[in-house]
């Protein structure tokens, strides 16, 4: 999701803050959270450098893929820890199942249909355009 987020930040003339799965020493102090992945049902960790997000910042979450929305929800909670507000969530591709995601509002450009023996379908999300 980093190339998508970097492109969106460049287009919007906005700063970029990358949420990482592994904390980097070079980024200084970080806020870390643990969450249960919606797809793998495993405990995941993510960190966000405290110098990248000013108090009260407004944020757009950008990611490449969403299944259940656990990652987007965890990022939103991290932003909330900074006193920030999530203005929207945008993903390149989202699965059609589960229908109910862990985030209330998001925009996906493509929808991935259920996996069947013949494969799966990827369709444009015309409602997002």
For 53-99, the pLDDT digits (tens) are 899 999 999 999 999 999 999 999 999 999 999 999 999 999 988 88
Backbone angles phi, psi at 75, to 5 degrees: -65, -40
Q: Counting beta carbons within 10 angstroms of the beta carbon of residue 22, is it exposed (0 to 12), middle (13 to 18) or buried (19 or more)?
A: exposed
pLDDT at 128: 62
Q: Which fold has domain 2-16+53-128?
A: Rossmann fold (3.40.50)
For 19-46, the pLDDT digits (tens) are 988 777 777 788 888 888 866 678 988 9
Q: Using CA atoms, how far apart are residues 108 and 105, in angstroms rounded to an integer?
A: 10
Q: Global pTM?
A: 0.85
> Looking at the chain, how many residues does it have?
129
Q: How many of the other CB atoms lie within 10 Å of CB of 20?
A: 15
């Amino acid at each position: 999701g980093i190339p998508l987020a970097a492109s969106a930040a460049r287009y919007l003339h906005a700063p970029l803050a990358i949420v990482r799965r592994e904390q980097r020493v070079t980024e200084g102090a970080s806020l870390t959270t643990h969450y249960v992945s919606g797809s793998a049902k495993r405990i995941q960790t993510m960190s966000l450098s405290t110098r990248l997000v000013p108090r009260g910042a407004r944020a757009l979450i950008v990611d490449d893929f969403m299944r259940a929305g656990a990652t987007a929800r965890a990022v939103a909670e991290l932003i909330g820890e900074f006193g920030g507000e999530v203005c929207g969530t945008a993903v390149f591709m989202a699965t059609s199942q589960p229908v109910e995601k862990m985030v209330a509002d998001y925009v996906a450009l493509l929808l991935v249909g259920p996996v069947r023996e013949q494969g799966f379908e990827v369709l444009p999300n015309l409602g997002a355009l």
